[in-house]
A = this chain, B = another copy of it.
């Protein structure tokens, strides 16, 4: 099939490489001004994947929009501005797949909600779940999830995207899968903080309480709480809570050690979105709240995290 990947960052470039490798015709789109686009155009590689000659690398959005399937993988906070660009385009007959893990910081909105504000006419799906580019390119397989309101869209995409490297499961809870996929980055920051404070052993308790927190929120939002325990959230903890590659974990670790990390991890914006959702749905989110207090309010991390796990004796559930 003709597939365009919108976004040529680490993950977008990988998606293009992967989909090309399983036989699709790929257009990879990046902004002319982006450093990563320039690097790819100049060298044909980003150090993780090397673009195949067959692939079409372009900064012409119109050219990218000709494919049947559009896979979008950009920073979640830039998604609305992309949708503004897509709002007036002809997308007839196309399917859009969002392969991103985030929420709009200011509003707490899920990305398919933003998509449907602009393009209620176009079928949209999400592609979430575990996996690091560094593992996939070494041939280490993983399981991921495709979710959409439409069973037909899910089937079409699972058939088109499956391989020995990535085995897809059908999701059945768009709210749960989007919230779960985004919020695992917040849990990842908390995990990094525990690592940085020499409290790695508490990552067990973090997993138990983190999944509960997200399950409760998903239920209050009208999703299925069990989705928090699926591939998109708990299933992504190996890659987030434990992996040396996880940006969010490393960001949390560097933060509590007072080291400069260079850039904000995606989970920082997601933390803001989570607090918005917590207020909106009256859900208690103690871990998201703790991450926010440490990162945005300058509270002392050791005290905040000790309070979170070790203060009061209570019933487990």
Contacts and interface: CB of A to CB of B under 8 A. Distances in A.
Interface of A: 130-132, 135, 140-143, 145, 158, 162, 164, 167-172, 198-208, 211-212, 215, 224, 226-227, 229-231, 234-239, 242, 306, 309-311, 313-317
Task: Report, nearest first, the 8 A-B pairs whose CB atoms are least far apart.
Answer: A204-B238, A208-B235, A130-B204, A169-B316, A203-B238, A143-B205, A135-B201, A204-B235
A315 B201 CA distance: 33
B211 A310 contact: no
A199 B200 CA distance: 22
Given A131-B201, A201-B132, A143 B309 contact: yes
Nearest to A170: B315
Given A172-B315, A234-B234, 10 more contacts: A143-B309, A145-B316, A158-B313, A167-B310, A167-B313, A169-B316, A204-B235, A224-B317, A230-B316, A231-B316
Total copies of the chain: 2
A162 B317 contact: no
A158 B315 CA distance: 11
Given A172-B315, A231-B316, A313-B168, A239 B204 contact: yes
B204 A231 contact: yes
Nearest to A138: B198
B205 A170 contact: no
Contact of A205 (B172, B231, B311): B231
23 contacts: A130-B201, A140-B199, A140-B201, A141-B310, A142-B201, A162-B313, A167-B311, A167-B313, A168-B313, A169-B313, A171-B316, A172-B316, A200-B238, A204-B237, A204-B238, A204-B239, A205-B235, A206-B238, A211-B229, A215-B229, A227-B317, A231-B316, A234-B234
